[in-house]
Structure formats: structure tokens, C-alpha cells
Chains A and B, each alone.
Chain A
Amino acid sequence: MAILVGPETKVLVQGITGSFGARHAQLSLDYGTRVVAGVTPGKGGQVFRHKDHEVPVFDTVAEAVRATGATASVLFVPAAFAADAILEAADAGLEVVVCITEGIPVSDMLRVKRALSGRRTRLIGPNCPGIVTPGEGPGSHGGCRMGIAPGYIHKKGHVGVVSRSGTLTYEAVWQLTRRGVGQSTCVGIGGDPVPGMSHLDVVKLFAEDPDTHAIIMIGEIGGSAEEEAAAWIKEHCRKPVAAFIAGATAPPGRRMGHAGAIISGGKGTAAAKIEALRAAGVAVAPTPAEIADTLIRLL
């Protein structure tokens, strides 16, 4: 089952002809993901070729959806044009939109988030590694990979992973896989202050998913999304949850790489998040090296 996307999901890639988008479209095709269409305005009618794959390119998302039946889109669109591309994907009725782009202005995301409210489209990101539902094959081949995460580090299984970070998520997933523990779906929600899906949105889906038996939540300083998820987990979640919060040593008032990773006005500290998670019965890993072990002890 997994959440949001699976091996059957038909994926389109917005920005497939750019070098970044092309590279990751190739890696997704190699992983066995059903990449059925690409969109690059002005390049409609071209064909994106990789090994024996031939992916048609369209000028608009609407055309691509009509021609191929794609239900999910991954965006590799420059920051200045990304908000428009997200709205175009939502307008075409896509169920899942994954925005990899880093550096989208907050005001653009505020308008996008407001425009998406009440719609069925679920936005993952921006500034995120994307989503992976591992497949059955060797190196989890045959799964759905939308974004930039390395596919081979995954293994099909029953742990749901949700995180604001990229490489720190790979670290946790790799720890799980090396210990023989597989994942149902891994969702990188991104490091921006105005994200699409929140920790809570994803945790709710994991809680309902019969294929997910336990959850790893990776957060970081800034905002209160981890506290909100903790409050819900305390009341509603019956599955074991382990967490790690990055940034315990980060100085206040400084943005730690991610636009959203900042302690401001004394709010958004790692200590406050860890306390909220512990109060909700979540096992918090003391170091990033022990994320998988912390969860495994709960199983």
C-alpha cells in the first residue's frame, strides 16, 4: 500500500529537459518508476530518451495529463518560475506534486499554499529531496522515486519516514536498510518555512496506512511543526514513533542552511521540540547515529 505514491503511480516531470531534471528523470527510470511524461514549455513534441525509454515531452501539464493519465508530478523548475509550475500542476488536477526547487520566495509560497487550500492536490516540498516508495526488486528497484533521493539505499518494508532534511534522511534510511528494516514510504517535506505537507499531514497518513507499522520523524530547529505533530501523536497515534531533531547546537537568530531552520524570538528550539516529542511518548534519538536503533528498540 504505502502512502501517496506506489509502483503503479504514473509520474510526470516538470522541467525534464534541464540538466538537473533530466539527470533525475533518468535515475527514476533506472529505478523502475513509471515516468510517463515530461513538461517543458516550448519543447512540446520532443521525446526524452534514456536507454530504451521514450518519454514524450509536452508544453503544458494539462496536455501531458490528458495524453498519459499521469497523476503525480515532480518539479525541477527554477525558483523564479516554481510557484507558477506548482499552480499549473494543481490546475491539471494532479494528486501529488513534489517540488524539489530550493530558494522559492516566501511570498510566492504563501500565495500557492492559500490557492491550494480546499483542493485535492497534495504538495510535497519545496526545497525537499522528494518521496520514495521502495519496490520489491534488488536495491528496492521497481518502486516510485520522485525527486533526488538515492533509490538503492531503500528497502521495501513497514517503517514510514518523514523528514525536513535530505542527506540526514538518507542517513536514517540507510541505517534502517543496513539493519534489514525496510520502509513503506519515505517523505522529505523540505526545509522551507512555508512547506506544502507538514510533519503532521504525513504522520496522519502513516497512522492510517496498514502497511506502515512504525514511524520515524526527523525534524530540525525553526517553526512548530514538530510540536504540532507531537500533540496529535499523543492523542491519536497507536504506532511506535522515533524521532530526531537536528540543531541542538545551532545559535539563535541564524538560518542554518535551510530557509526554515532558524530559532527566532526564542521559539523553535531543538530542546522545546524534543520535550514535546518525549511528552507525546515518542522515543527521541540522542544522536543522529542512533535514529534507526532508537526505532528498532520499540519494535
Chain B
Amino acid sequence: MNLHEYQAKQLLAARNVPVPPGEVCETAQQARAVAERLCAEGATQLVVKAQIHAGGRGKGVFVDGYRGGVKLVQTPGEAEACARAMLGNVLVTRQTGPAGRKVRRVLVAAAPEIRRELYVAVLLDRARGCPVLMASTEGGVDIEEVAARSPEKIVTEPVDPLLGWQAYQGRKLAVALGLTGPLLSTATRCFDGIYRTWWECEASLVEINPFCVVATPQGEALMAVDAKMVLEDNALFRHADLAALRDEGEESPLEVEASRHHLNYIKLEGDIACLVNGAGLAMATMDIIKHYGGEPANFLDVGGGASVEQVTAAFRIIMQDPNVKAILVNIFGGIMDCDVIARGIVAAVRETGLKIPLVVRLEGNNVEAGRKTLAEAGLSLINADSMADAAEKVVAAARGGGG
């Protein structure tokens, strides 16, 4: 589950990681009031940031031509004007796709004077089977670029999950980043807070880019100027407070509906829908559609033991995608009786009044009875007897338009 920048910053700040003072706003008037308060507290420069679940906001362009989802401003009036331009507008960035995302909230914050931009992240190191704190002196740019161009500028510190983050590891990292002198102890405290944010919130990613050395009247300080957090879905059952941060407005409506039926559905750009039991087989089905020259419209895993209700819900979801020209059902009924699945398909097709070509490939337990059920139902579906056969037939059906 993705979080917004302002939500991530609240979780970090609660664990002693300094963030620039600011507040999330849903109206332009609110933005002005927050800006006035920040100016009264001594801020000389402010920033208005569109809150969407996608990167590249600064270089993004709104659909009405307004440029930039991150704007530096000097006065409350300018902050209000920026907020008015962004709120309700649709921002397109390199991560949103051409449809963009509607901006429902902006973060209005003080923009500190930045001396250095660093990078800090905590993530799972799958190869080592432990969390790792990753940092770089090259902040403010894509870390993938840094990794490709100058991997020596990325330092990592693996964490023993039974011990947790240790202060000495923080000192090692601070020195590697050149955060010495009075900044050493501040940096150590920050790293501890960043790691605890990852562990305590059960995140899969906490990324602070840039993590900045900033100038303050009291001297140099450290601040998380941007923050990205992804929470692990599997752990949300024990974090009701974090689960409440979910913003369904940022998710595809079809994906939200699918998750209510415990279906794994991901919308893609193609025109051949697929409905499969099992994640690996579902991915492989997408692959074989592509191999035969088609484009999958979605990933859809109805689970290892698909029920009639789930199959029906899956059909309803698939049919709501206007791009879909043909459907491929690929079920390996290992334990499940294929006949039960076949009856589910027949019920779903009748209920949803399917009008486009449907190719069905059933395999496994009691498959003869299942195929007989499909054949006798009098539906205009196309039977396939192997995955390759099914993929070829569905690609041809999608091209034919009417099947």
C-alpha cells in the first residue's frame, strides 16, 4: 500500500526524523492560511507539492497545461494561487501514465535552504534475507541512475532482524556520507528513526530523497525534504491506524473492486483479458498471449481454488474494461473439480450477458465432465485443449473482432 508524502513525513517525524514544517491542504484557502502561519513562524520560502502516489511530480505537467506539481513560492498569495491551480487538476508525470492522477490534496511546507542533497532508504535485501539501510551522497536524482553510473557512491548497511539497527552502524553511515562534526550525532539519531519507521510500520520501502543538510539560524541541520513509503499489505491486519491511511482515490476502481472479492487484478493496456487460477500461471498466461502476438488487458488471479462467486465477480470486473475484445479463461483444476469451475463459468457468462469471444482452457481433475458442461451449455465459447492452443485462439478472436 502506497502512502502520500505528507503521511510518510508524519510517520518519520513521530520517530525523531526532522521534516520541514508544513501541513496538507484540501482547499486553496486552507493553503493560504497554512502559508501565512509558516511565514509568521519565520519561513522565507515555501513549497506547494501535489500529493499523488507517483514520482516525477516536479517535472510533471497538468492536463490544462499548468506546469509543475512542485512549486517554490514566496508569499501566502502565491501559495494560494498554486494550490488553486493544482487542486482538482490532473497531473501527468513519467510515472502516472498518460491518464495522469487527479490532485485532491497539496502539501504546503517551509522550503529550507539546502546545502547538500543526500539519499537514504530502508528496504528488504532479498538476496541476503535482511533489511538494509542504503545511502548515497548523490541525493535528489533517481537512485537507479546513481546505481548505474557510479555504484561506488551507494553505501549499504545490512541489519540483523533480531538485533535491530545499532548506533555504530549509524556512525559508519554518517562518516561515509561526510556527516561529521556536530552533524554526526544528529545523523545517527535520524538513521535510527528512519530504520524504526520501516520496522515499526512494517514498510516494504522508506525512501528519503533528498535527505538534506539545511541551513538554520542555529547552524546546519538534517531534514527529510521528500519521503516515499510503501507499506506491506500482509502486515496491515495488525496496524489498524496505518491501514486507515489507504487512499482508494489513488487506485484503479477496478482494482479496488477486485480486492473486495479477494481477487488479484492488475489492469494493463492490452485488449485480451485473462482469468487464471494461481499467480504464476496467471503471469505465464499473459506471457503466452504476448508470445502469440496479442496484448494482455490484465493480470487476474482468482486464487488456487477458485469459487463460483469469485469467477462471476472476475467476469464482471473484466467486462468493465472497455478495451477488452476477447477473454481467455485458463484454469488448472488440481484439487478443484473442473466441472464445478465449468458450471461457474456458465453461470457467470449468463449473468453478465457476455458478448465478446471467450476461449476456455480447462485442465485437471474431472476435466471431461467440465468440458461436457461447457459444450452443453449452448454458449458460443471456444474450447482449447492446451495453453498454446488457447493463446492462439484468443489472439485470433481478438483480431477478428467478433470471434
Contacts and interface: CB of A to CB of B under 8 A. Distances in A.
Interface of A: 27, 79-80, 103-107, 110-111, 113-115, 129, 148-150, 152-153, 163-171, 174, 191, 193-194, 218, 220-225, 228, 244, 246-251, 254, 256-261, 265-266, 270, 286-290
10 contacts: A103-B234, A107-B232, A150-B365, A152-B365, A167-B281, A191-B279, A249-B296, A256-B266, A261-B279, A289-B388
Contacts of B282: 256-257
Contacts of B288: 287-289
B202 A171 contact: no
Contacts of A266: 144
Interface of B: 124, 126-127, 129-131, 143-144, 147, 160-162, 199, 202, 204, 232-235, 237-238, 264, 266, 268, 276-291, 296, 299, 301, 304, 332, 334-335, 363-365, 386-388, 391
Contacts of B280: 163-169, 191, 218, 220, 246, 257-258, 261
Contacts of B162: 111, 114-115
B130 A259 contact: no
Contact of A166 (B129, B285, B304, B363): B304
A105 B365 CA distance: 33
Given A105-B234, A223-B126, A257-B264, A265 B143 contact: yes
Counting chain A CB atoms within 10 Å of each CB, the highest count among B281, B291, B365 belongs to B281
Contacts of B268: 249, 251
Contact of A248 (B129, B237, B290, B364): B290
Contacts of A265: 143-144, 147
Given A104-B234, A287-B291, 12 more contacts: A110-B130, A110-B131, A114-B160, A167-B278, A167-B334, A170-B334, A171-B363, A265-B144, A287-B284, A287-B288, A287-B387, A289-B288
Given A110-B131, A110-B161, A259-B234, A171 B279 contact: no
Contacts of B233: 259
Nearest to A129: B304
A258 B279 CA distance: 6
Nearest to B255: A254
A168 B143 contact: no
B232 to A, nearest CB: 6
B202 A107 contact: yes
B126 A193 contact: yes
Nearest to B289: A249
A167 B304 contact: yes
A168 B126 contact: no
A164 B284 CA distance: 12
B236 to A, nearest CB: 9
